[in-house]
Structure 1
Amino acid sequence: MKASIVTPNYNGEKFLKSFFESLNQDSEFIGEVIIVDNGSTDNSREYIESNNFNFPVVLIENDENLGFSPAVNQGIRKAKYEYIFSLNNDTEVRKGSIKALIDLISSKPEIFSVQAKMLQYKNKELIDDVGDEYNLLAWTKKTGENHHSDEYSGVCEIFSACAGAAMYRKSLLEEIGMFDDNYFAYMEDVDLAIRSKISGYVNLMCPDAVVYHIGSATSGSRYNEFKVRLAARNNVWTVYKNQPIPMKIVNFIFLFLGFLIKYLFFARKGFGKTYLAGIREGLSTRSKIDKVKFRGKNTKNYFKIEYRLIINTLKFLKK
């Protein structure tokens, strides 16, 4: 079995050499690499077109930066293979990782996605991300960040895969919907994971698939106006589209506190107005977001999600 690798790129020429060299080690499991270039102004396109690789490389050229979600969706639609490996350009993949992902995701039909163990590029013994958590406060958190890689040595269920290094089934993406194009970037993978869980699917982490990640290579520093505004807006959308009214009512006080605390946090860092602008944008534009239609057959799945949100909140409060 082989996979289609889908990678968005925006001025990432400096990463492409090591990115492709790492993939060459697993070329027998790669059906194609689809690079979706979001209007790069460096020599990314020239680099791809002038080099030979051990697998077919498909280059999709956009005239402007459409964002992560639309770019990955373009690649998914173009992909020829059932297994889609969404992979950031600022990564290096350890040999054997793609096979490990394929073996795990193909083992059971209820597996929606499989997360690779993402390690920090500059300190390869420390975890960058092994999946994203989400809680009652509507906060996301990297699982395992800055912990030693040995702490996550077995396959485990996660709330959400991080789309920077995660494998999905194309057929299931077509069933429940792909990444939400409206998000542009940030939280699109958590939104997708919630929708998968509503439909009864599971997301796993594969410890034998290792990806070294530089991080924030395209969007810059950890906190900036662009990130803060989009993350706030997308957070509003994620609650709006995925939680039915009874769930919103039950969680209201936690949601209110979550947004309030985040505002105070960003206000101290000088981004308070930016965060509020993102909240206002999310509320004022929510009508353009397609809500997940409530179906009675999924009621038990909503209870499972609520339970997971409670557990993740308690885990956060204990720290």
Structure 2
Amino acid sequence: MEKKVRVIIPNYNGLDFLTECIKSLKKQTCDCFDILVVDNGSDDGSRQWLKKNKIPSLFLTRNRGFAGGVNAGIRISNTKYIILLNNDTIVFEDFVENLLKRIETSDRIFAVNPMMIQAHRRELIDDAGDGYSIMGWAYQRGTGEKTDCYEKAEFIFSACAGASIYRTDLVKKFGLFDEMHFAYLEDIDLSYRARLAGCIIIYEPKAKVYHLGSATSGSKYNPFKVRLTARNNIYLNYKNQSDLQLFINALPLILGIVLKGVFFLKKGFLKDYIAGIIEGVCTFKKCRRVDFEKVPIYRIMAVEFELLLGALRYTVHFIKRRL
């Protein structure tokens, strides 16, 4: 029987996490899916373990990053839906079932984000969907807040590609994940394109997953992550905002860059942050930009309004976490 869903797990030296992740998938309440691990050139024994345990896998010869890895898996997938799942996750038994139920309620739904819960503090949210602001700041909804504060399904700006379900045909139609990103913000970039195309994205709290977090990069902040995120922010704004939007949003975007610079100065990563900004400014013209002539003005205005709301929500969340 042909499967409706493919779960794609990108892996780079994640052997310590793969066992529990795959074990949890084998306990699902439905059997409408298959699994594909995309190994990004691991050298920690992951490949040998996957072969020994006969886990369906695609072995890449080098590390192509999150975007390149999942794209390789998506290109060879013909299921109606794909679930992208980080290797450092443990899913609840009805995870796949609840994601599938939600995305099938409307053809307009591009993606559904589950309730991602902190693995080491299981009463707290890790990610309840991603947001984006007019200042160019991406943020995870609900991070550090109680899980019972996010028990309602709702519209969100972006799905986190660490544990979300997508319509395969639309992911391919919108150009897959941008491999210029390599890693970080590529999921917000893709969701942004989907929103401009008129799709919606939903947060579904009935689908739950524990997430360890930063298993591949090693920590919340490190030189690699800071540099790539700074660079990719430049890409994201250039690709998904029209020239008029960039002109209107110039001041808040510049303010956002400066404030982040102050933040990373205090964290000891200013040099890496500046390097990322410079790289982004020097290379953004290589990005594939949205064809705004095909996007109705009302959609651009609707997204612009969401960016304004995103700044407000980010501020409220920032204050709540420090009270």
State if a TM-score over 0.5 links the two structures. Answer: yes
Note the 1:1-319 alignment, pairs <5 A: 2-26=4-28, 28-51=30-53, 57-318=55-316, 319=319
- State how far apart, in whole Å, the 2-side matches of 1:194 and 1:181 are: 16
> Match of 2:43, as an amino acid?
T
> What RMSD over aligned residues (CA atoms) do the two structures have, in Å?
1.3
Q: Deviations over 1:105-156 (max 9, x none)?
A: 1110100000011001111121100111110110011101111111111211
C-alpha distance in structure 2 between counterparts of 1:104 and 1:38, whole Å: 31
Is 2:133–2:310's contact at 8 Å kept on the other side of the alignment?
yes
* Cα pair distance change 1:179/1:297, threshold 3 Å: closer
Once residues 83 and 296 of structure 1 are traced to their aligned partners in structure 2, the CA distance between those partners, rounded to angstroms, is: 26
Alpha-carbon distance, 1:30 to partner: 4.3
Question: Alpha-carbon deviation of 1:317?
Answer: 3.1
- Per the TM alignment, residue 48 of structure 1 is displaced from its structure 2 partner at its CA by 1.5
- Cα distance in 2 between the residues matched to 1:146 and 1:269: 20
Structure 2 gap ranges (5+): none
> d(CA) in 2 for partners of 1:315 and 1:92?
29
Q: Deviations over 1:233-268 (max 9, x none)?
A: 000000111100110111110001000111111112
- Displacement of 1:270 in angstroms is 1.7
Describe the SS at the equivalent of 1:295.
Answer: helix
Q: Distance in 2 between matches of 1:58 and 1:301?
A: 40
1:214-244 deviation digits (Å, cap 9, x = unpaired): 0000001111110010000000000111100
- 2 CA distance for matches of 1:95 and 1:295? 45
The answer on whether the counterparts of 1:134 and 1:141 sit within 8 Å (CA) in structure 2 is yes
Moved more, 265-274 or 95-104: 265-274
TM-score, normalised via structure 2 length: 0.95
Closer/same/farther in 2, CA of residues 51 and 27 from structure 1, 3 Å limit: farther
Q: Is the 8 A contact 2:78 2:168 kept in 1?
A: no
Residues 82, 167 of structure 2: 8 Å contact kept: yes
Instruction: Tell me if the contact between 1:5 and 1:30 (Cα under 8 Å) persists in the aligned partners.
Output: no
The letter of the residue matching 1:48 is L
Aligned partner of 1:49: which letter?
K
CA distance in 1, matches of 2:31, 2:122: 24
Structure 1: state its 5+ residue gaps.
none
SS of the counterpart of 1:146?
coil
CA contact (8 A) 2:6 2:77 kept: yes
Of 293-302 and 216-225, the range deviating more from structure 2 = 293-302
The alignment's TM-score, normalised by the length of structure 1, stands at 0.96
Measure the CA separation in 1 of the matches of 2:172 and 2:225: 28
